[in-house]
């Protein structure tokens, strides 16, 4: 069986495009920190835990070495949201040539969705994409932040990107074989 998947490509072309989000209530004790030590184990945990129920499968087969290589590239950053010191979600930035920064992954673990963390984390991560060159000597100034999302992602993903000031610049539809939801870890 196949399904039609719509993919939207969105961008911001100036830091002023970023629309802030309301922070979660103080009693949730949400904080966001950069994972400054490249850790394939932690990054795979975040990727699989966030994407397990929304069909993120492209990195499940990555070896430890592939994770190390990706995370070790200059300009790759992982920003993690914590609620009461528990990992709640992440935004992954990937600096590219020409001053582009891709938000390669963004999302929340299922238990933390609907708790007003997503918009806050996306706004924070997007701001870090705009000032990424200040943390990476020799990187060119960010000129564009872009992301793609699809109809298999969380139902609020596209609206969240739009509320943060991202504009759709391309849309495509593809036929894909239906992929069963893999869960956090193969065999889990």
Q: Is pTM beyond 0.85 here?
A: yes
Mean pLDDT of 54-73: 91
Q: How many C-beta atoms lie closer than 10 Å to residue 166's C-beta?
A: 25
> What is the predicted pLDDT for the residue at 177?
62
Spatial CA neighbour of 38 closest among 14, 6, 70: 70
| The pLDDT of residue 187 is above 50 | no
Taken in order of first residue, the domains within the chain and their CATH numbers are 2-171 (3.40.630.30)
pLDDT in tens, 88-109: 999 999 999 999 999 999 999 9
| The pLDDT of residue 154 is above 90 | no
Can you say whether residue 99 is alpha, beta or left, with left for phi > 0 and alpha for psi between -120 and 50 degrees?
left
> What is the predicted pLDDT for the residue at 183?
52
How sure is the predictor about 155, in pLDDT bands with cuts at 50, 70 and 90? confident
β-strands 86-95, 30-34 pairing? unpaired
| The pLDDT of residue 61 is above 60 | yes
| The pLDDT of residue 15 is above 60 | yes
How sure is the predictor about 53, in pLDDT bands with cuts at 50, 70 and 90? confident
């Amino acid at each position: 069986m196949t399904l039609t998947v719509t993919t939207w490509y969105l961008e911001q072309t100036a830091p002023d495009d970023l629309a802030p989000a309301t922070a979660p209530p103080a009693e949730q004790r949400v904080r966001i920190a950069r994972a400054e030590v490249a850790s394939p184990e932690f990054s795979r945990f975040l990727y699989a835990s966030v994407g397990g129920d929304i069909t993120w499968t492209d990195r499940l087969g990555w070896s430890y070495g592939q994770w190390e290589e990706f995370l070790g590239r200059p300009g790759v950053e992982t920003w993690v949201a914590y609620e009461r010191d528990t990992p709640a979600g992440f935004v992954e930035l990937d600096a590219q040539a020409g001053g582009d920064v891709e938000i390669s992954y963004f999302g929340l673990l299922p238990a933390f969705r609907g708790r007003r963390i997503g918009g806050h984390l996306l706004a924070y991560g997007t701001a870090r994409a705009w000032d990424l060159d200040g943390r990476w000597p020799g990187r060119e100034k960010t000129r564009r932040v872009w992301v793609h999302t699809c109809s298999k992602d969380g139902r609020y993903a596209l609206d969240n990107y739009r509320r943060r000031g991202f504009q759709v610049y391309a849309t495509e539809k593809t036929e894909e074989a239906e992929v069963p939801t893999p869960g956090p870890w193969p065999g889990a």
